[in-house]
Amino acid sequence: MAWRAARSLVVLQQQLQAGAPQARPPGTGADEWGLIGDAAHDPTSDHTPHDFPGWGSQIVTAADFPNRPDLGLDAHAVLDDIRRSRDARVKYGISNGQIYSSYAVSGYPAWAWRPYNPKNGDRHFTHGHLSVVGDARADGTQPWQTIGAAFAEEDDDDMGASLGPINIEREGITSLTIPPVQAGAADPRSAWLNFCNDTGVAYGLRVWYSTGNENFAPFPGTSNGLLAIRSGQRWSQEIPAGTACLSILRQAIDPDGNIVNPTAEYRAYPGHLTLVIERGPVRR
């Protein structure tokens, strides 16, 4: 299953590179701007993709960035700016052998720096680390209150937008042609497909995508293209790069919760259903 980063972390890294342009690659190594961890990472790490019921699947909730004051990027100062802002998206930050969290820990109040001495010995002198909360707040794309914030606020197009809500046809296929994701000449940004079930019952969908190469494939995060969405559930998944067409068809659900083709006995949900396509920040 494809992973994605919490959107606030994508904004953070882009914002820091805008605020300290000398520190963006190749001034620093691309591997210094880490999101997902390698195989050696603790599986409980925020750098490891996790599922968050009610929010999304396979989401990374941590980002690293270089500590290069000589290039205009002081990781400790950035994290202290964020600490003082009391941003609701924050879980904790680490830099220069210190850590703070948005909650009290072991005699230290929330938002207070405290010593950081991990078992692996990495006290984060060469880079900063920010973890965000494991819920939909972490997808907020508002600017962080640190360097680069003015750049992030320059243009609404830079910070993303939504397309929708778009109706899902009651009968037949809902066929959507969209600007090629991360490949459009005028709009080369990432995008996410979002469903939210407020019907009071579970419903099923068949969701496929195409890059325009004459082939369709099951949408990532589904079960071979099939998706059951429970009442009250929000489902969000990044749209694969190059996607130019989405094909969506309503399906029925049997009493055991399995998705089946609609029949006289098992009908697809007949009421009003919608989707939203959310565009991410422009990648500069």
pLDDT tens-digit profile of 217-226? 999 999 999 9
The rounded mean pLDDT for the chain is 87
The proportion of the chain whose per-residue pLDDT surpasses 70, expressed as a percent, equals: 90
pLDDT confidence of 265, banded at 50, 70, 90?
confident
Return the ∠ at Cα 191 (arms to 197 and 3), rounded to 5°: 80
pLDDT tens-digit series, residues 87-134: 999 999 999 999 999 999 988 999 999 999 887 778 899 999 999 999
Per-residue b/e over 99-131, b at no fewer than 16 CB within 10 Å? Answer: bbbbeeeeeeeebebeebeeeeeebbeebbbbb
Three-class DSSP labels, 166-216: EECCCCCCEEEECCCCCCCCCCCCCEEEEEECCCCCCEEEEEEEECCCCCC
Q: In 3-state terms, what secondary structure has residue 219? A: coil
What's the rounded mean pLDDT across residues 157-177?
77
pLDDT confidence of 174, banded at 50, 70, 90?
very high
- Output the pLDDT for position 101: 96
- Output the pLDDT for position 38: 63
Which residues are CB-contacts of 38 (< 8 A; sequence separation ≥ 6)?
none
Least confident of 74-83, 103-112, 118-127, 157-166: 157-166
Question: What would the two tokens of residue 257 be?
Answer: 């919760």
Does 31 have pLDDT greater than 90? no
**What pTM did the predictor assign?**
0.56
The architecture in CATH of the region 157-279 reads Sandwich (2.60)
User: What residue type is assigned to position 211 of the chain?
Assistant: T
Q: Are 246 and 175 in contact (CB under 8 A)?
A: yes
pLDDT tens-digit series, residues 199-233: 888 899 999 999 888 899 999 999 999 999 988 89
Dihedral of alpha carbons 105, 110, 111, 113, sign: negative
Domain boundaries of the chain, sorted by first residue = 4-154, 157-279
- Please give the C-alpha separations between residue 10 and each of 159, 176, 234, in angstroms, as whole numbers: 10, 26, 21
Q: Are 114 and 93 in contact (CB under 8 A)?
A: no
The proportion of the chain whose per-residue pLDDT surpasses 90, expressed as a percent, equals: 55
- DSSP string covering 31-98, please? GGS--S--TTS-TTSTTS-EEETTTEEEEE-EEEEE-BGGGTB-HHHHHHHHHHHT-TTEEEEEETTE
pLDDT confidence of 190, banded at 50, 70, 90?
confident
Q: In 3-state terms, what secondary structure has residue 160? A: coil
